[in-house]
Amino acid sequence: MRVLVIGAGALGGYYGACLERAGGDVTFLVRSGRAEQLRRDGLRVVSPHGDFAVQPKIILASDLEEPFDVVLVGVKSYSLDDAMAQFAPAVGANTMILPILNGLKHIDALTARFGATRVLGGLANVSAGLDADGRVIQFMANQTIVFGEIKGSLSERALVLETLLQVPGIDVRASEAIMQDMWEKFVQLSTLAGITCLMRASIGDILAVPNGEQSIFRLFAECCAVATASGFEPRAPFIEFDRKLFTTLDSPLKASMLRDIERGSITEAEHILGDMANRARVLDIDTPLLDLARAHVAAYEVGRQRISSAQ
């Protein structure tokens, strides 16, 4: 199957490189600057599982003319509109679009543009980022992709795609309940991003201060309440996993949103924290800590934009 990976950042770069290393037919849709860097240096991955590099096949949007079997979308939410316009020529009648963005709002945007039958639900659990040299840095050993049909059930095409993605460096699972999985990831990420951005600290550092743990779980409870009222009550194994995740002493875990703030970069705050808060308002659920976290990052964005405009 021919796979088009949208971008070669942290998500697309990591998973696309793993597929390329395993001999997959992978092409990366990138901008001209990133294309030049990849031609010169290759696509390099620094991983706890072992570093590696591939020489990727790349294409610019202006050269994209024919459909692919799979389009793997791993861009940031604020880049999605531009990305959809760029990869539209790659979407044919039987193309599977697999988004692994954070949150939920992007599903509506993709189905509105390309039709519900082409869009799968999906999520990625990988802690990674790009360094100053354009290398993909995998910070932790997790590397999961979960995906499935939005309406549920295991389709034949989902099983075929699961086989395609079963390569070293990717732990893949086709799901019969992908929207439940995505909602649980949404809860986890909203909690992690909200508390680490609000406190400007890792989970370990938050746990080390008075009321740190209580604050984490107040926010977690708010997000769980939104999911439950939306028809996706978090399951017991998820609750247990996140309780361990958020009580690990000395944990260096922080949200990528906080790393964006530390770099002075744009964030996905409205796509994650804003969307969760908006859903809470519609459902008449009180979420004071979530609202504070949203306002905190929004205030950062106002300052960042002011500085950017002045430069």
Q: What is the pLDDT of residues 224-276, one digit of tens each?
A: 999 999 999 999 999 999 999 999 999 999 998 999 999 999 999 999 999 99
Q: 226 Cβ partners below 8 Å, 6+ apart?
A: 187, 276, 279, 280, 283, 285, 287
CB-CB contact of 57 with 4 (8 Å): no
Candidates 225, 203, 224; CA nearest to 215 is 203
Task: Name residues of the chain where pLDDT drops below 70.
Answer: none
Alpha helices in the chain (DSSP H): 10-21, 32-41, 80-87, 105-114, 156-164, 178-199, 203-207, 212-229, 236-245, 256-263, 269, 275-282, 288-310
Please identify every residue annotated as catalytic: 185
Vertex 249: Cα angle to 124 and 218 (nearest 5): 70
> Hunting for tokens 């990988």 — which residue is that?
126
How does pLDDT run across 39-57, given as a tens digit for each residue? 999 999 999 999 999 999 9
pLDDT at 127: 82
